[in-house]
Structure 1
């Protein structure tokens, strides 16, 4: 079975609750009031671009976000802020996570002076669990995968009266995931003084990695809303063994992928795509592709051991996934068609997002020393 899907996007998004919330978002104004807020760095890697015969490679490095080593604090903090505007007396927030989102919910709950209870799947590493506990949360490990952990968090929140802050949407649970997606808009907007200018962006292709798809959906909404048909080509990347977006494209509807869920890209190790994100992803994705873990490892090493005088970037397994997808396209014979369709050439400008740093140091060090 092919490891990619070529989509023919509509480039327009239907009006619904999620798009209304995204349109009304003023998340960046809220984020600027938070401790440690500053725009994350945009790094140019000219030597890496030369190595792969493209014009420019840019990486927005989210490992510097709020001291959390990942971008997720943008979504969790804004959603909790919006919830508390309406329900200020909530005492406990809850979520399911494979790591970064849970830490972000714990952190955002702490700065709001609230408690957090975080459910994690059985294969969550001690390093990720300890990072969540460091933010003051109670962590409960579930003997199940990501989807089963989400179900447990949902059930326990309803039973105990906790407020669920989940970054995936399902029927009748769409407002909070939409607020999380709205929070993510901040780091796309931070590029409006350089790459995301008007009327056209200074990039030709953007790679967006996906788990449940909320972050990728937020990015796609941003590009379609800002540029319409002038948006850069959008490539969505997933792990080979956790390909809910690709499987859904092939099925023509949201499905749980038939795979092992065994990948080093823990932050992308999810099941069925988020309901609201899926609608947006269908509307703006040019190509959906799944990649093997070896490409993520290669991307991490390329960033950590930079070419020439390029700046070093510390990227985790999920953080490097966008760049990993690019490497797969550029070096895999079976993906030559995608390289041609994307018209990648020595003048092509490409943007990647390093969505996390070394969030599991044991895994990171092992990969760096291979």
Structure 2
């Protein structure tokens, strides 16, 4: 999956870059938030490969401009079952919900609901205070697995934002608890607003940005997930201070088999090792001592590498020493 806050869809140059990024990544689902328009944009996106769904922007009070707006694209090799149309008025212009039929390797299929979301940055005003409760209710009514992505305008820890945003953070964390949702960024314990920011501020070089573009998925059937913010190149889109965020989720189908659209093997991966902070520099010395102890106990110094077999043996044993020492020294 792929999400990007476009910060408006006025510039034709921006649309060309967005389409190029989508064609380069070829995600199963892409979510574009903050269109700021009531004009259809499907014709400017790669609609030959994607079914495009749009939630138009909402007119601003006492102004001719529009706010919010969400666009979702679903690759045409995935069956689109239905789009939910009876969503709460509080989600108008900010949420697209669609049920997808995901085929499995045993010839069956199951329903997975995908939400494209643009959350308000100020969720405590009269116009926005009902957003998170309404979205919570919509997700809680799900009988099957689900995924939700977009600019959620919320962070979960101080490491994701330099300051502010406490109201949105509280509401987002309450949402996660209520729906038993897994925030994919939480699977990156070493994430930082300096390197993983999805929205940059004016002083991004000094204080970093904010990690507010997110993916969340149902926890009960989740097998594995991955998320990262891209770094320019073919993913660069001008006239926005957001970066493209790419995510993968793998769920266990309720009727057995594996989802056919999974393009990488299922991995029951351990949590990534956390590189020690400056205050934990003693862990580096512990790591070295643990590796030396393993090397001595297994007699690796005595192995003479003179053929493929001895090389593989030494390589394997030394790899085990490195991994076990890292896990013990860093608490991974």
TM superposition score category, shorter chain reference: under 0.3
The higher radius of gyration belongs to: 2
TM-score normalised by the chain length of structure 2: 0.28
> Which has more helix, going by share of residues?
1
